[in-house]
Structure 1
Amino acid sequence: MVIGTERTVHLSHNKFTLHGFQMVKLSESNSQPWRQLKRQSWTFVDGGEAQHTQYMHTLSTETLKPATIYSYRIITIGDDGESSEGTDNSFESKVFELHTPAKSSKGSSSFKFIATGDIGVNNAVSMPLFKQFVTSHEYDFVAFVGDQGYNLDDFNGTKGDEYMKFAEELYANLPILTTTGNHEQAYNFSHYKNRFDLMPYRESGFDNALQYSINYKNLHLVSFDTEVFFEGSEEEVLTALHWLEEDLIEANKRRSKVPWIIVFGHRPLYCSVMSSSDCVEKAEKLRFGEPVDKNYGLETLLSRYKVDLYLCGHKHNYERSYPVLNNTLVTTSYHNPPSFFQVITGNGGNYEGCDKFDDMTNTAAIPKWLGNHYEGYGFTTVEVSRNRLDLHHYEVQEDGTLGDLRDQVRVHKTKGHVKKQAKLAAEAA
């Protein structure tokens, strides 16, 4: 599902063929009539030896009422409009539920979302909690910062089927926004591009689901493909960066109405494990591009266009920076911060476990920009309102139960600061 005036439901099931068509039954309550929805269907063939074939379907609703809970299920019907029950292609899902957001207004424009990443099928410690959260309707969407399934292409692509079924209770009930990671790179990211084709890249002017953006109430949220720096050609890197630059220029033109800009990608710009190349050479390449002296990388644009927060994963732990730039602490204050800050939230849980930090007893080796860190499983929540971001990071126990609050921070911006951000971005464009 994605967020917008239209809701879309994405279904992947390898028993469906393209000879019939899929129907979503949707109503505000189970007692009301269900409605057939428009769809797009295509065939996706895995790049492995078995050439595993999957039939992909994206279903789009009409415009839905705000602040409403809808229930729906998915069934197959034949070309003649009759149910396909009893055939090899018959399928009827259980009933799922989704909620639409309330209309934005000065008094009720705040909302919450979950940020998480690096989740597999095995040892997916946080997933049981996420599946519980969907019934509360407390969160408007989940932002996945890359690396899902471990790996979607494994076992001739059947691992992807297994993961999507495993995550169904979450994916089918709460809107999902994703970005790609290194574990999705097989066959030119074909599993990601097909399984998450519903991401709003067409509306965002990009060629595929690797990059897109949305405006949602007070937030402009951008998904950026960090893997292009390591898997792409120089031309592909420049295409990705040019798209991001144009997107941020347009976002700043609307800054008075949509004051917050968050970019999420997979790899970190900063991390404190200096024994890892992810935190040294690879982070520098991501920040400044290659060659570095060209100074045209992801951090270049986040700084130039006054992005507020960069969310990422890849490292299987949690870290929050202070406002930072060029590997240097800018300030320890989150009131009208002059630069972006970064949150790593890649500790959702997978078979690789959590990443260990370097020896933190050597305080001289701890980067001055590091605000807080946590070595364990967990997830992040972000509440967005007109003049503040409230970020919390919660521990998840190995048995899948909720643990302690491990970190929290409030970012506050005045109207004058928002105006200043827009002015500086316009001057830099």
Structure 2
Amino acid sequence: MPKATEGEASGLINNGRRLFLLGMAGTAVVLTGCGGGGGGDAPVATPNQPSPPDPDPQPEPPPEPPAPQPDSHPPRGLHVSLEDSTRRTRTVTWFSDGSEAPDQRLEYDQPEADWDAETVQSRPFLKWVYARSEPTFGVDALTHRAMAPALDPGRPFRYRVGSPEGGWSRVYWLAPIDTQRWTFTHFGDHGISERAKRVVDESLQHPSDLLLLAGDLSYANGEQPIWDQWFDLAEPLLASTVTMAAPGNHEAKDGEGLTAGKAFKSRLTHPDPLLNNLNDNPGSTYYPFDINRVHFFVSSAGALIDDFSLAEELINLEIDLAKAALRRLRGEIDFIVLMQHYPIWTDQLGRSPANFALVTLQENILLRYGVDLLLVGHDHVYQRSHPMAYGFRSPLGYVQVMAGTGGQSVRLFDEAPQDWSASQFMGIGLVHYQVEPGRITGEFWGAAPEGLDDDSRQTVTGPFQRHDRFVVEKRGFLACRDCALPARTPAELLADYPEIVADTRRRNHLALEHCG
């Protein structure tokens, strides 16, 4: 018989040990001494005999779920605006804290029908695009912008923003804008007071396709974190309505010289103007856009005179309105609307007109091209004019609607209403417009203060009610034909530009002095 190798011998020895231990399996073993402790009556453990059952067994508690971790970069301050084609795209702008953030994106889709609230929030999205990001002026944060392209204008737009790593916003839903009947809202001089919040809440009770903010949005006045408070307060409205804004005199305090209005330009997103050599920023301070058969132009009216863009803006305004008047004559649009912060005419003492040189030129442009509506703010009251020209009633003039009633404060009228004034109100509120073929109907919804003395005027607790209603009709063919004029040359348009600059600087200084 051959001898076992060393490895085989080791295996035999190990097998033998296993057999020996198996053979001991039926023997009871009791260990005593050597620290064995215990008395002789201790139970003996016998293999193959089950232990007595626990008299009251307890189930194992389920493991506790891990505590939810807060999002590392939650998106905030959402607003929707137009940056390109008004019918085929939507742009969403938002912010995240810190100088770095995970790649941000806009997720969106266009449902075929209305969904219930739970489905809107829970249904997965079908499309997404990455955002472009840049530092936010004056705070440790980033501004993110993303455009949803190639949209079907006849279907809703559902979206959220953020990132899987940093966190998501809630889901917002924008209804499609009807081509025949649609709405927009206008007010200015908002701020972050309880009055301002009431105006946001009331605006949500009058759903609109478009929100126009006529300047003085946050009243940060150079304190940049206030902008974040304003966006947080206004987000329910800004994120669910296409929002377009004009800068006001208080926006000028965010930056100096060429950086005047930098917070406005850094945080908002608007279309580029036709000519754009100096206004190189996404949050343009003057720009045109269309909604269906209404053409809009948003103007700074010199609110940011120190950034040296006013001359270029006036040339843009002239060319744009000349083109719009020709389009109206061709039947492509029905109305031309200009929005800016400063009114041209007002019954506030010393402000009518506060800038004679610029007002004269603006009035000439408005009348030359047949602007139908001039939407303004600045004075913290509501006042609507009859159709007017150069401070007098005129059937071929424009209607100025001043709604500086966003909630920053409530003022009184300093003078008795002039002949051009058709309606006045002191309090807070908004103007809601219904657009239909050949007609725009406006309604002012306002809440009055508890009193008109200094102590009670800033307390507004009463209900919102309709205080004014007016109708602007489409101009006739002959009136449209007379306004379809060619744009003038820059030399002709800006012949008095040095005087315009001097008067505008004087007006802006007086406005800030009056505001405190």
Q: TM-score range by the shorter chain?
A: 0.7 to 0.9
Give the one of 310, 331, 338 matched to 2:396.
338
* CA–CA distance in structure 2, aligned partners of residues 153 and 91 of structure 1: 30
* CA–CA distance in structure 2, aligned partners of residues 399 and 393 of structure 1: 16
Aligned equivalent of 2:388 = 324
The yes-or-no answer on 1:130 pairing with 2:200 is: yes
8 A contact 1:316–1:345 mirrored in 2 = yes
C-alpha change, 1:75 and 1:378, in structure 2 (3 Å) is same
Aligned equivalent of 2:485 = 426
For residues 93-142 of structure 1, give each alpha carbon's deviation from its aligned partner in whole angstroms, at most 9, with x where no partner exists. 1222222213x3xxxx12110001100012334x4453465487x41010
The yes-or-no answer on 1:221 pairing with 2:280 is: no
The yes-or-no answer on 1:300 pairing with 2:361 is: no
Aligned equivalent of 2:226 = 159
Q: CA RMSD in A?
A: 2.3
* CA–CA distance in structure 2, aligned partners of residues 135 and 408 of structure 1: 18
Q: CA deviation at 1:323?
A: 1.6
Aligned equivalent of 1:73 = 160
C-alpha change, 1:135 and 1:356, in structure 2 (3 Å) is closer
C-alpha change, 1:193 and 1:92, in structure 2 (3 Å) is same
User: Counterpart of 1:110 in structure 2: which amino acid?
Assistant: R
Aligned equivalent of 2:312 = 239
Q: Which structure 1 segments of 5+ residues have no match? A: 47-51, 77-82, 85-89, 289-296, 331-336, 361-365
C-alpha change, 1:311 and 1:21, in structure 2 (3 Å) is same
For residues 397-421 of structure 1, give each alpha carbon's deviation from its aligned partner in whole angstroms, at most 9, with x where no partner exists. 555664221111112235xx14532
SS at match of 1:178: strand
Aligned equivalent of 1:146 = 215
User: Counterpart of 1:218 in structure 2: which amino acid?
Assistant: R
C-alpha change, 1:129 and 1:97, in structure 2 (3 Å) is farther
Give the one of 32, 38, 42 matched to 2:134.
42
* CA–CA distance in structure 2, aligned partners of residues 396 and 192 of structure 1: 28
Aligned equivalent of 1:355 = 411
8 A contact 1:268–1:283 mirrored in 2 = no
8 A contact 2:137–2:263 mirrored in 1 = no
Q: Where does 1:2-401 land on structure 2 (aligned, <5 Å)? A: 2-3=81-82, 4=86, 5-15=88-98, 17=100, 20-27=102-109, 28=111, 29=120, 30-46=122-138, 52-76=139-163, 83-84=164-165, 90-102=166-178, 104=179, 109-125=180-196, 127-128=197-198, 130-131=200-201, 133-134=203-204, 138-151=207-220, 153-154=222-223, 157-185=224-252, 186-187=254-255, 188-196=260-268, 198-201=269-272, 204-206=274-276, 207=279, 208=281, 209-228=284-303, 231=306, 233=308, 236-255=309-328, 256-273=331-348, 275=349, 277-280=350-353, 282-288=354-360, 297-330=361-394, 337-350=395-408, 353-358=409-414, 360=416, 366-396=417-447
8 A contact 2:199–2:428 mirrored in 1 = no
For residues 362-417 of structure 1, give each alpha carbon's deviation from its aligned partner in whole angstroms, at most 9, with x where no partner exists. xxxx3111111111111101122221111111113555664221111112235xx1
SS at match of 1:279: coil
8 A contact 1:128–1:400 mirrored in 2 = no
* CA–CA distance in structure 1, aligned partners of residues 310 and 213 of structure 2: 22
8 A contact 1:396–1:402 mirrored in 2 = yes
C-alpha change, 1:129 and 1:287, in structure 2 (3 Å) is closer
Aligned equivalent of 1:79 = none
Aligned equivalent of 2:465 = 404
User: Counterpart of 1:244 in structure 2: which amino acid?
Assistant: L
8 A contact 1:269–1:286 mirrored in 2 = no
SS at match of 1:254: helix
Q: Which structure 2 segments of 5+ residues have no match? A: 1-79, 112-119, 449-458, 489-516
8 A contact 1:114–1:139 mirrored in 2 = yes
Q: CA deviation at 1:56?
A: 0.9
Q: TM-score, normalization: structure 1?
A: 0.81
* CA–CA distance in structure 1, aligned partners of residues 141 and 351 of structure 2: 34
* CA–CA distance in structure 1, aligned partners of residues 470 and 482 of structure 2: 26
8 A contact 1:152–1:160 mirrored in 2 = no
C-alpha change, 1:347 and 1:114, in structure 2 (3 Å) is same
SS at match of 2:441: strand
* CA–CA distance in structure 1, aligned partners of residues 156 and 462 of structure 2: 27
For residues 160-211 of structure 1, give each alpha carbon's deviation from its aligned partner in whole angstroms, at most 9, with x where no partner exists. 1121122111111111010000110121110000101x21125x44434100
SS at match of 1:201: coil
User: Counterpart of 2:339 in structure 1: which amino acid?
Assistant: F
Q: CA deviation at 1:283?
A: 4.3
**Structure with bigger RCO (C-alpha 8 Å, 6+ apart):** 1
* CA–CA distance in structure 2, aligned partners of residues 25 and 165 of structure 1: 21
Q: How many equivalent residue pairs?
A: 373
Quick one: percent identity of the two aligned structures? Answer: 22
* CA–CA distance in structure 2, aligned partners of residues 24 and 286 of structure 1: 41
